[in-house]
Amino acid sequence: MAALFATKKAFTAPPTVRTLASGVPSAPLINLAARDLHGAEHHGHGAAGPRSDTPAKFSGGLSNTPNGVVSKRYANAPTTGVFQQRYMHTSVPARDAPKVPNFGAYEAKDPSTNRALSYFMIGSLGVLSASAAKSTVTEFLATMSASADVLALAKVEVELASIPEGKNVIIKWRGKPVFIRHRTQDEISEAKSTDWKGLRDPESDESRTKKPEWLVMLGVCTHLGCVPIGEAGDYGGWFCPCHGSHYDISGRIRKGPAPLNLEVPQYDFTEGDSKLIVG
Amino acid sequence: MVSYVKGPAYKTVKSVAGLNIPLLKSYVPNLALWGGAVAGGIATFTEGIPLFQNTFYSKIPVFGEHWVYNPDPEDIPI
Amino acid sequence: MAGFANLFYNTFVRRNSVYVTAIFGSAFAFGVGFDTAVTSVWDKWNQGKQWKDIRDKYIQDEE
């Protein structure tokens, strides 16, 4: 039905002249040698011939049939598919949708505030994420640190510059206190001048110290294992409050029940004698 | 008499793999800021490590004491 | 308010390098601040129960 409409109504003659994209007129199929059909009226110039502007064969033409001469014209290809009629109209389309409400009251007064808030929230999330990641990494690394059984055999490093002359420092080494005393010259000479051969546990001060100004020994009373008190006792050294053992300024037992001098641990001076390593 | 030049004199900036000195110079401020970002990241992630705490963070003027841990040896239980 | 928002945006966000630097710097400060805050809360909550609070009583007696 629709196709019939189309063939009936109109046809388009093939154009002979068109405009190229460049703007140049193009007439590709014009036969310039063609003559006018009415040669005689045009003073005889030019013989009659096929005109280039005659419709091409495929668009139709005359044909001889047993029923007589039939003229066929194929003007348009029949339309296929759905055919919809479009009307031109000037009427205003009916508004069947309800009016969109005004959302202006909900809009931000100033978009820059929203932008800053968005970036602030993003940044805050970044801060929290970085902190969480840092904690995770730190805790994981902490699992690789030395465990208590390793630490129990560890060496202890002491910064000697932090100990002034005439002062005691107690550090913890393998669970036991270690006394470090920065001895004054008087104390050194006193310790050296003592007649050590007659003591209960005879030891010279030289054999007990590597450097005379630094006295390093375990702070465990050799009697029953109390921790003696520094700068006390009858001999200006250490005094054990448990049972009254007196040690002198070299840590040797002088009076009381203890049988031996305070023990001297393994130690060494390093880094230009600025550090002491016990162990 | 007007003296004409034949055309503009072109100079080529030396470049290696598309990078040349003015271009690299233009990157410098931004790269410096990125260096700051990297330093901040490193600082964040090394904050819990004792070596870095003792070497750097405990020396920060005002709140550096946060990292100082120096208890009496008698108070450490083993 | 808008002025403050724009100040924040122009100072910290405009360059990504500054933004990232600010984030890491804040993370560093946040780590320290959080630690301090939690420690002080803990100490306040457990006031008088921790060794550092009662240490004076025992150490002075011994010496």
* A140 in any annotated domain: no
A32 membership: H or E segment, kind and range = none
Q: Pairing state of beta strands A229-230 and A214-218?
A: unpaired
**What stretch of H or E contains B19?**
strand B19-20
Helix, strand or coil, per DSSP, at residue C31: helix
Chain C contact for A170, CB < 8 A? no
Domain assignment present for A274: yes
- Could B37 and C20 be called an inter-chain contact, meaning their C-beta atoms sit closer than 8 Å? yes
- The rounded distance, in Å, linking the Cα atoms of C39 and C34 is 8
pLDDT (0 to 100) of residue B74: 61
Query: Residue A15's pLDDT is what?
Result: 60
CB A249 within 8 A of CB A236: yes
Query: Are the beta carbons of A119 and C1 separated by less than 8 Å?
Result: no
Residues in chain A: 279
Amino acid at B30: N
The residue range of the domain holding C50 is 24-63
Q: State the greatest distance between any 2 C-alpha atoms of chain B, in Å, as a whole number.
A: 102
Asked whether residue C37 is assigned to any structural domain, the reply reads yes
- ipTM, two decimals, is 0.85
Residue keyed to tokens 């920060």: B60
**pLDDT tens-digit profile of A32-60?**
565 555 545 555 555 555 555 666 677 77
The CATH number of the domain holding residue A205 is 2.102.10.10
Say whether A127 and C31 touch across the interface (CB within 8 A).
no
Q: Which of residues 8-47 of B touch A (CB under 8 A)?
A: 41, 44-45, 47
Q: Is residue A145 part of a domain?
A: no
Question: Is pLDDT at C1 greater than 90 in this prediction?
Answer: no
How large is the average pLDDT for residues A99-119? Answer: 85
Helix ranges (DSSP H) in A27-110: none
What's residue A1's pLDDT?
46
Provide the 3-class DSSP secondary structure of residue A62.
strand
Judge whether A126 is closer than 8 Å to chain C, CB to CB.
Answer: yes
Domain count, chain A: 1
Q: Which tens digit of pLDDT belongs to each residue from A84-102?
A: 666 666 666 666 667 778 8
Kindly tell me if the per-residue pLDDT of A206 is higher than 70. Answer: yes
Q: Is C39 a domain residue?
A: yes
Average pLDDT of B56-73?
Answer: 80
Residue C19 domain-assigned (yes or no)? no
For residue A6, what pLDDT is reported?
46
What's the Rg (C-alpha) of chain B?
Answer: 28
User: How many domains, chain C?
Assistant: 1
B66 touches chain C (CB under 8 A): yes
Residue at C62 is within a domain? yes
Give residue-wise pLDDT tens across range C3-39.
888 889 988 898 999 999 999 999 999 998 999 999 9
Residue A17 has pLDDT above 80, yes or no: no
Q: Which residues of A touch C27 (CB under 8 A)?
A: 126-127, 130-131, 134
CB A181 within 8 A of CB A212: no
Answer yes or no: do A131 and C31 touch at CB < 8 A.
Answer: yes
Residue C36 lies in a domain: yes
Distance from CA of A133 to the nearest CA of B (A): 8
Q: What is the pLDDT of residues A158-167, one digit of tens each?
A: 777 777 777 7
Has residue A252 been placed in a domain? yes
Whether B48 sits inside 8 A of A134 (CB atoms) is yes
Average pLDDT over residues B23-51: 89
Task: Report yes or no on A73 lying in a domain.
Answer: no
Give residue A178's pLDDT band: very low, low, confident or very high (50, 70, 90). confident
Using the Cβ of B45 and the Cβ atoms of chain C, whether some distance falls under 8 Å is answered with: no
With contacts defined as CB-CB under 8 Å, which chain B residues touch C21?
33, 36-37, 40
Lowest average pLDDT, out of A77-81, A197-201, A266-270, goes to: A77-81
Q: Which residues of A are catalytic?
A: 243
- What backbone torsions phi and psi does residue A230 show, to the nearest 5 degrees? -80, 160
Tell me which chains share at least 3 CB pairs under 8 Å with chain B.
A, C
Residue A7 has pLDDT above 70, yes or no: no
Q: What is the largest CA-CA distance in chain C?
A: 65
Dist. CA A51–CA A36, nearest whole Å: 8
Lowest mean pLDDT among A44-53, A241-250, C48-57: A44-53
* A114 is a domain residue: no
Please answer yes or no on whether A135 and B48 come within 8 Å at the CB atom.
yes
**Contact between A177 and B48 using a beta-carbon 8 Å cutoff:** no
Chain C residues with CB-CB distance to B44 below 8 A: 24, 27-28, 31
Strands (E), chain A: 18-19, 25-26, 60-65, 68-73, 156-159, 168-173, 176-182, 214-218, 229-230, 236-240, 245-248, 253-255, 267-270, 275-278
- Per-residue confidence (pLDDT) for residue A29, from 0 to 100: 63
Which residue in chain A has the smallest CA separation from C2? A113
Please report, rounded to a whole number, the percentage of residues in chain A having pLDDT higher than 90.
8
**Segments making up each domain of chain B, as ranges:** 17-73
Domain of A235, in residue numbers: 156-278
- Optimal mutation site among B38, B42, B49, B52, interface A, most CBs of chain A within 10 A: B49
Nearest CA in chain C to B74: C59
More confident residue, B33 or C62: B33
